[in-house]
Amino acid sequence: MQSPVVREHAGIANDQVTMKSIALGWPGESFPANAVVSERKSVEEATVFVGFGD
């Protein structure tokens, strides 16, 4: 949940949620899924920073 203050300043609509995940542990080098490489957007393409500019 985001507080109303965060929602207001970040422009997060009430019907939207933000999610993040953090991987913990050690990689299983022989696990097939760990060989998958996906293309990702750059930080500049995927984020909007609010309140940290000039």
Q: How far is CA 18 from the centre of its chain?
A: 7
Give me the percent of the chain exceeding a pLDDT of 70.
91
- Cα 17 from Cα 2, distance rounded (Å): 8
The answer as to whether 24 is a domain residue is: no
Confidence band (pLDDT; 50, 70, 90) for 2?
A: low
- Cα 41 from Cα 33, distance rounded (Å): 20
Q: What is the pLDDT of residue 54?
A: 58
Residue 20 has pLDDT above 80, yes or no: no
Q: Which residue has the tokens 């949620």?
A: 17
- Cα 7 from Cα 30, distance rounded (Å): 42
Q: How many domains does the chain have?
A: 1
The answer as to whether 46 is a domain residue is: yes
Identity of residue 31: F
Q: What is the domain range of residue 5?
A: 1-15+34-54
Query: Which has the higher per-residue pLDDT, 2 or 37?
Result: 37
Once rounded to an integer, what is the mean pLDDT over residues 25-47? 85
Q: What is the pLDDT of residue 47?
A: 81
